[in-house]
A and B are shown apart, each in its own frame.
Chain A
Amino acid sequence: MYQLYEFLRGPGAWIAFTVFFVGLAVRMAFLVGLSKERDKVLYNHFDWSWAWRSIFHWLIPLGSVSFRQQPIFGLVFWVFHVGLLAIPLFLNAHNVLWDEAFGISLPSLSDKLADYGTMVVMACVAFLFIRRLARPEVRILSEGWDYLLLILVLAPFLTGFLAYRQIGPYDLMLNLHIFSGELMLILIPFSKLGHIILFFFTRAFIGSEMGARREIEGRLGARTW
Chain B
Amino acid sequence: MSQTDMEQTATEAVEQAEDEAEEKAPVAAEEPQAPAPINVKQIKGILEMNKGARFRTWLNICARCGLCADSCFFYLAHDKDPKLSPAYKIKTTLGEMYKRKGEVDREFLTQAKEVVWGQCSVCRRCSMFCPFGIDMASMFMTARAVCNSQGILPAGLARTKKNIIETGNQMAVSNEDWIETCEWMAEEWGEEVAGLNIPVDQHGAKYMYTVNPREPVYYPQDVGMMAIIMYVAEESWTVPTNGWDCTNLAMFCGDKAAAAIPVRNMYQAAQELGVEYILMTECGHAYRSGCFEGPYFMDIPGGKPPVPVKHSVQLFVELIREGKIKIDPAKRLKERVTVQDPCNVSRSGGLSEYLRELTNMLCEDFVDMTPNREYNHCCGGGGGFIPMGPEYKKRRMASGKVKAEQIRATGAKVVISPCHNCFDQLNDINKEYKLGYKVVSFKELITEMMIIPDKFKPKDEDEEEDAGASAESEE
- Which A residues lie at the B interface, using CB under 8 A? 31-32, 34-35, 37-42, 44-45, 54, 58, 64-67, 69-70, 77, 132, 135-143, 146, 192, 194-195, 198-199, 201-203, 205-207, 209-210, 213-215, 217-225
Indicate if the CB atoms of A222 and B53 lie closer than 8 Å.
Answer: no
Indicate if the CB atoms of A199 and B347 lie closer than 8 Å.
Answer: no
Number of A-B contacts (CB under 8 A): 163
Interface size on B, as a range, is: 35 or more
In the complex, which residue of chain A has the Cβ closest to the Cβ of B308?
Answer: A217
- CA–CA, A209 and B134, complex, Å: 11
Q: How distant is A219 from chain B, measured CB to nearest CB, in Å? A: 3
Indicate if the CB atoms of A202 and B133 lie closer than 8 Å.
Answer: yes
In the complex, which residue of chain A has the Cβ closest to the Cβ of B4?
Answer: A41
In the complex, which residue of chain A has the Cβ closest to the Cβ of B51?
Answer: A38
B351 contact set on A, CB distance < 8 A = 219-220
Q: How distant is A205 from chain B, measured CB to nearest CB, in Å? A: 6
- Which B residues lie at the A interface, using CB under 8 A? 2-4, 49-54, 56-58, 60-67, 69-71, 75, 80, 82-83, 85, 87-88, 91, 124, 127-135, 292, 296, 302-304, 308, 310, 314, 346-354, 374-375
Using A34-B56, A44-B303 as known contacts, say yes or no to A192 and B66 having CB atoms under 8 A apart.
no
In the complex, which residue of chain A has the Cβ closest to the Cβ of B87?
Answer: A141
In the complex, which residue of chain B has the Cβ closest to the Cβ of A28?
Answer: B53
Using A137-B80, A223-B374 as known contacts, say yes or no to A207 and B350 having CB atoms under 8 A apart.
no
* Chain A, interface SS category: helix
In the complex, which residue of chain A has the Cβ closest to the Cβ of B299?
Answer: A40
- CA–CA, A142 and B85, complex, Å: 13
- CA–CA, A153 and B350, complex, Å: 41
Indicate if the CB atoms of A214 and B349 lie closer than 8 Å.
Answer: yes
Using A39-B53, A142-B64 as known contacts, say yes or no to A137 and B129 having CB atoms under 8 A apart.
no
Q: How distant is A133 from chain B, measured CB to nearest CB, in Å? A: 12
The 10 sampled A-B contact pairs (Cβ below 8 Å) are A39-B2, A39-B4, A65-B129, A66-B131, A195-B61, A206-B133, A207-B133, A218-B314, A220-B352, A223-B374
Q: How distant is A3 from chain B, measured CB to nearest CB, in Å? A: 37
- CA–CA, A69 and B64, complex, Å: 17
Q: How distant is A40 from chain B, measured CB to nearest CB, in Å? A: 7
B57 contact set on A, CB distance < 8 A = 31, 198, 201-202
With contacts A66-B130, A67-B67, A224-B128 known, what are 5 further pairs, Cβ within 8 A? A38-B52, A70-B67, A137-B80, A219-B314, A219-B350
Using A38-B53, A146-B64 as known contacts, say yes or no to A141 and B85 having CB atoms under 8 A apart.
yes
- CA–CA, A137 and B67, complex, Å: 9
Using A35-B52, A194-B60, A214-B350 as known contacts, say yes or no to A66 and B71 having CB atoms under 8 A apart.
yes
Using A41-B4, A140-B83 as known contacts, say yes or no to A192 and B347 having CB atoms under 8 A apart.
no
